[in-house]
Structure 1
Amino acid sequence: MVRSSWPVLVSGEQLKTAFALDAVLNEVMFVSGPLIVSGLMPFASPNAAVVFAACSTTAGVLLLLTVSLPAPTGERAERHFLGPLSHGQVRVLLGIVVCDTVAYGGMVVAIAAPAGGDGSGGSSGVLLSVLSLGAVISALIYGARERKGRPGLQLALYHAASAALLVISAQVSHLVWAGLVLLLVGMVGGRRDTLHQVVLGEAAPEEYRTEAFAWMSTFMWGGYALGSSLSGQLVGADDGSHTWAFAAAAAAAALAAVVSLLVRPAPATTGVAEQASAGEDQREIL
């Protein structure tokens, strides 16, 4: 719901910056959450972590209730029973999300393998932090710049770069070199994820935008679970080696690059009638 509200809360020229900030906050959340729980464990029972998570969720919901959104304008179009999934571009972008999160879930499991093999299992947390640091830096830089170029080609290039870096990660075992490569993976990922959210927000019709981002979250967690499970099986079958797990993550990123070529630019917003007509043309693409 938060992501779907950005196009209403900020102007068009600030939208990319808003989605970049959203991506940064997500990275901070993934890093800070485990750190806070780890800090609680020496002083409290595991139930304290669950209570903390519940309180944080409640606080977030209460803050969301304080946001005032303008009422929707215009007549609501007749709803398709598939909702946003009836639109080809939305389906393409959600397919990319699955590939992305399969790669990310597999990468998280694969990262633990070189850390454990080096005799310092706690180093996996450091490597994940380095990955998130790269994503935060690149998302902030990307969000502050003017967006140019074709989004489909840009997404394809970002995913191809991620795939190449993951292949390199499969050949790296030393933690310092692994950290350097993962920093680059994060710097590519921050730009890619920001652009992906912007494009999805543009592709989804206004009446389906909230639902489209809800589907995005569903596909994200499904892909993450699939990638983690597959990577775990590959690490176990390869006697704890991370090579095939990283290779599988690279294959998922490469598939995302191919699918990204199907992404089309959003119709120009030169007028309500023209936008509606262009939107109908875009939905006929797939």
Structure 2
Amino acid sequence: MSSGASYRAVLALPRARTLFAAAIAARLCYGLLGIPLLLAVRSGTGSYALAGTTVGIAGLATALLGPLRARLVDRRPAALRPLAAGYAALLALLATACAGHWPVPLVVAVALLAGCCPPPVGPLMRTVWGRLAAGEAQRQSALSLDTAAESTVFALGPVLGGVLVAAVSAPVVLGGCAVLVVLGFGLLAAALPTPEAAVAAPTGRRTPLRAKGFLPLLGLTAAIAGALALAEVGLLAGRGTVVTGVVTTLFSVGGVLGGLLYGRRTVAVPLTRRPVLLAGTAALCYALPAAVPTVAAAGAGLLLAGACTDVLLIAAYQLVDHLAPEGSRTEAGAWLTTAYNLGAAAGTALAGVLVDRLGTAAVLPAAVLGLLAAVGGSLLRSARPGVGSPAAAQR
């Protein structure tokens, strides 16, 4: 490795500081939302079971419809403002419905509708960084800085959300999230480059799912998210909430540190091979606490796994610029987010079954096997003639 582009140079790009601050403000709503949303819907329905089911289905809608919302913003950048305004209005309406104890079916319907509408921020910002950066090294630094900021917001957001709910009430905090959407996305829309510079006109209606090498990348993204979910549930069942909280915090710390280090280095490994290498390394990280079942091994394993995970995601975002058709890169980034969320959901569900039937000792080996299976599938697919485009991704 050698030194790459500096973060100071990234923030010196045109509008970069304003974009960076606006993206943090826009992401803050999503970081805060989880606890207030669940508790507000519980207050409005009177049932934790119904609230959990409603929020879970809304989250599934958010993940599955994310690429469609990103495609809309890809092709019509001006749609970001009305999309954000509609989402903020639905959050405010949901807060009012929960505080006013509206009929339960209406509360559920508004929550589900809100889950269909969150505007994209991460995929959009990564597309913009890719277009602002001068060369691959600066793009790597920009994406690393953006991912570190996102990871920090999502690590601290639930803590802040819980404190605010304890200080006021869940519906009030939910209303505050609606205000954050208006402010954050308003700042972001104003800071974006002109539509012609930010998002080029699409060539036809080609989907990034048909791009060579993109589906294996989605598989690796889903597998690394599923491995984390398996590890979290296994630790929670076997070690309790305190140990799990500390260890998963180490995962976040490792992710931020690994991403920032990666952004400052020039890596000799070809870009197309980095996700496979990182997924395989993450499998070894999860194998450490599986082989040595101690808290120290779990902490070390998840610290290193966090670094592998964030760097894999950054490399995946870099590859999007080479694999996805012009004019669909925000949509491609949203597909990566969807794959990650679906992988996490599948990992959580599988972990529950394994704990019930085989015990906690089976969970971490399942995480290792899942990652190795994804690596093997990716290698087999890339070995087939006509699959992947390594030359393009190394340009």
* Same topology, TM > 0.5: yes
Aligned to 1:21: 145
- TM-score w.r.t. structure 2 length? 0.60
Deviation of 1:48 after TM superposition, in Å, equals 4.1
Query: 1:61-85: CA deviations, max 9, x gaps?
Result: 22221223240598753323xx111
Deviation of 1:36 after TM superposition, in Å, equals 0.9
Q: 2: CA distance between counterparts of 1:169 and 1:258?
A: 22
Q: 2: CA distance between counterparts of 1:47 and 1:236?
A: 35
Deviation of 1:49 after TM superposition, in Å, equals 4.4
Aligned to 1:128: 248
Q: 1: CA distance between counterparts of 2:337 and 2:282?
A: 21
Q: 1: CA distance between counterparts of 2:267 and 2:281?
A: 19
Deviation of 1:26 after TM superposition, in Å, equals 2.5
SS of residue paired to 1:207: coil
Aligned to 2:284: 164
**Which structure is higher in helix share?**
2
Query: 1:42-74: CA deviations, max 9, x gaps?
Result: 323333443344344443322221223240598
Query: Which piece of structure 1 moves more, 45-54 or 125-134?
Result: 45-54
Deviation of 1:131 after TM superposition, in Å, equals 0.6
Q: 1: CA distance between counterparts of 2:224 and 2:151?
A: 15
* Count of aligned residue pairs for this structure pair: 262
Please show how residues 93-132 of structure 1 align to structure 2 within 5 Å.
93-116=217-240, 121-132=241-252
Query: Which piece of structure 1 moves more, 150-159 or 203-212?
Result: 150-159
Task: Identify if the C-alpha distance between structure 1 residues 57 and 245 changes in structure 2 by more than 3 Å, giving closer, same or farther.
Answer: farther
Q: 2: CA distance between counterparts of 1:238 and 1:249?
A: 14
Task: Identify if the C-alpha distance between structure 1 residues 41 and 10 changes in structure 2 by more than 3 Å, giving closer, same or farther.
Answer: same
Query: Which piece of structure 1 moves more, 185-194 or 12-21?
Result: 185-194
Please, which of 147, 155, 159 is the counterpart of residue 275 of structure 2? 155
Corresponding position: 1:186 with 2:306: yes
Task: Identify if the C-alpha distance between structure 1 residues 246 and 165 changes in structure 2 by more than 3 Å, giving closer, same or farther.
Answer: same
* One-letter amino acid of the structure 2 residue matched with residue 245 of structure 1: V
Corresponding position: 1:79 with 2:205: yes
Deviation of 1:163 after TM superposition, in Å, equals 0.8
Task: Identify if the C-alpha distance between structure 1 residues 58 and 157 changes in structure 2 by more than 3 Å, giving closer, same or farther.
Answer: same
Report if the CA contact (8 A) 1:105-1:224 is conserved: yes
Report if the CA contact (8 A) 1:155-1:260 is conserved: no
Deviation of 1:143 after TM superposition, in Å, equals 0.5
Q: 2: CA distance between counterparts of 1:251 and 1:161?
A: 12
Please, which of 368, 380, 392 is the counterpart of residue 250 of structure 1? 368
Corresponding position: 1:67 with 2:219: no
Which one scores higher on RCO, CA 8 angstroms, separation ≥ 6? 1
Report if the CA contact (8 A) 1:89-1:203 is conserved: yes
Aligned to 1:44: 168
Task: Identify if the C-alpha distance between structure 1 residues 75 and 123 changes in structure 2 by more than 3 Å, giving closer, same or farther.
Answer: closer
Aligned to 2:324: 204
Question: Alignment identity in percent?
Answer: 27
Deviation of 1:107 after TM superposition, in Å, equals 2.4
Q: 1: CA distance between counterparts of 2:201 and 2:306?
A: 42
Q: 1: CA distance between counterparts of 2:358 and 2:200?
A: 58
Runs of 5+ unmatched residues, structure 2: 1-123, 383-387
Corresponding position: 1:142 with 2:262: yes
Report if the CA contact (8 A) 1:127-1:179 is conserved: yes
Query: 1:88-126: CA deviations, max 9, x gaps?
Result: 22222222222222222222322323331xxxx233221
- Deviating above 6 A after TM superposition, structure 1's stretches of 4 or more consecutive aligned residues are none
* One-letter amino acid of the structure 2 residue matched with residue 227 of structure 1: G
Runs of 5+ unmatched residues, structure 1: 271-286
Aligned to 1:277: none
Q: 1: CA distance between counterparts of 2:298 and 2:171?
A: 34
Query: 1:132-174: CA deviations, max 9, x gaps?
Result: 1111111111101123322233322211111122122224443
Q: 2: CA distance between counterparts of 1:64 and 1:266?
A: 34
Please show how residues 249-268 of structure 1 align to structure 2 within 5 Å.
249-261=367-379, 262=382, 264-267=389-392
Deviation of 1:197 after TM superposition, in Å, equals 1.4
Please, which of 115, 128, 138 is the counterpart of residue 5 of structure 1? 128
Q: 1: CA distance between counterparts of 2:394 and 2:292?
A: 47
Task: Identify if the C-alpha distance between structure 1 residues 128 and 58 changes in structure 2 by more than 3 Å, giving closer, same or farther.
Answer: farther
Report if the CA contact (8 A) 1:170-1:247 is conserved: yes
- TM-score w.r.t. structure 1 length? 0.81
